[in-house]
Amino acid sequence: MKTVACFALLLVVLLSSSLSTHAQFNPDKVCRVEDGQLIFTLNLKWSESEKKRVTELFELDSTLVDQVYKGQTTITLNGEIWKVKKLQGNTIELSKAVFAGADGKFDVNDVFLIVDNWANFAGTEPETSATFGVNNFDVANAFVYSNPIARFYFVGGKNARKVYISGTFNNWSTTETPMKFMGNGWMVDLKLKPGKYAYKFIVDGRWTIDPSNNLRERGDAGADNSVVYCYNHSFNLKGYKNARKVVVTGNFSNWNPRGIQMNPTAEGWSLPVYLRDGTYAYKFLVDNEWMTDPANPSVRKDADGNQNSFIAIGEPFLFKLDGYSEAKKVVLAGSFNRWNESELVMDKTANGWQLPFVVAAGNYEYKFIADGRWLVDPQNPFTTGSGDFTNSFIALKANHILN
């Protein structure tokens, strides 16, 4: 036996007042709030499995549903009065009053509509533009990621009956991902790719930010969401155990001299991070002394002549220039590296020059520089600009194709 558990969020959405007369179950059109009434639209032709699914999905009391299908028009259960109204065809409406506060307004924590496809209670899709991220949890085991498994742990909630996790990883579903009580809290393992995710817990119907997570951002609904990063890289520096402070900084953080503090380990220092696909320059600061990564042989000069370590995350794009075999040096420059004229020296091949280079998805302009002479890509028909300011143009990893 279950009682109705429609607690946590009032979403003022006016859906169609009835289902179509066919018997197929569509959960998106079952539950709504309208004119102070909580209304369930049911179909008399639903099968037993469909009725059971509705009962479980919306936590309706099985006795209530049974009396509806027996033709009762007024049902009193656990002190609540339900009304049954016959509509056209085989469609009926089951409703009860949802009480407002003294000011006549509904509290956002009074009604919980478990309708996943049309309700986006807690915020937006993840920011695909996030370049990098580092987590900030007060409790060490509140989130653990080992690609591809992400373990979320909700500390507390010993008296809670049910806890769900909802976020950008499950399209903010309110019922898809239940958590399991583990004695001192609630836990769930999810299969997630590296990246940035926003989420909340739903504790007995109430939306709750992660109390152990200090990273938050405002969602479209105006409320804060917790934010977590699933890591795909680790900066490591062996030795320097006597250093007071070691940080890493790079173009991913606009070369902020404060950097991101690394953690001491048995072998030295380490910092796991999320980095979006791309090529990154970086350095360590050991007690405010700059140094390249001694374990990374990929070192290049920037526009000012400084040596920086480089790493690439993701699949590279092969830039090629055929011919120019007499050239002594060919350099790739573009909007992806702020038109640095010395950084990306290309490799000579039997047919010309090439350089595999990782950049994030996006639109870019570029040119080749052969012994100081700027050249558009002769193999690329797409250009932008005019005259001396004509550049080759590419759109990498496009997310949409117009047919």
Q: What is the pLDDT of residues 6-23, one digit of tens each?
A: 333 333 232 333 333 334
Mean pLDDT, residues 153-163: 89
What percentage of the chain reaches a pLDDT higher than 70? Answer: 81
**pLDDT-wise least confident of 10-24, 142-156, 169-183, 379-393:** 10-24
**pLDDT mean across residues, the chain:** 82
Angle, CA 319 vertex, CA 300 and CA 299 arms, to 5°: 10
30 confidence band (pLDDT: 50, 70, 90): confident
pLDDT at 111: 43
User: Closest by alpha carbon to 397, among 261, 304, 277?
Assistant: 277
Q: What is the pLDDT of residue 262?
A: 96
Tell me: pLDDT of 212 over 80: yes
* Structure confidence by residue, pLDDT tens digits, 37-46: 788 888 888 8
Which residues in 204-298 belong to E strands, given as ranges? 206-208, 216-218, 224-230, 233-238, 246-250, 260-261, 263-264, 268-275, 278-286, 289-291
The domains of the chain, with CATH numbers, are 1-117 (no CATH), 132-230 (2.60.40.10), 233-313 (2.60.40.10), 317-396 (2.60.40.10)
Contact status, residue 61 vs residue 54, Cβ threshold 8 Å: no
The pLDDT value recorded for residue 102 is 46
| pLDDT at residue number 65 | 87
DSSP string for residues in 40-64 = EEEETT--HHHHHHHHHHTT--HHH
CB atoms within 10 A of CB 239: 11
Lowest-pLDDT choice from 121-125, 164-168, 279-283, 386-390: 121-125
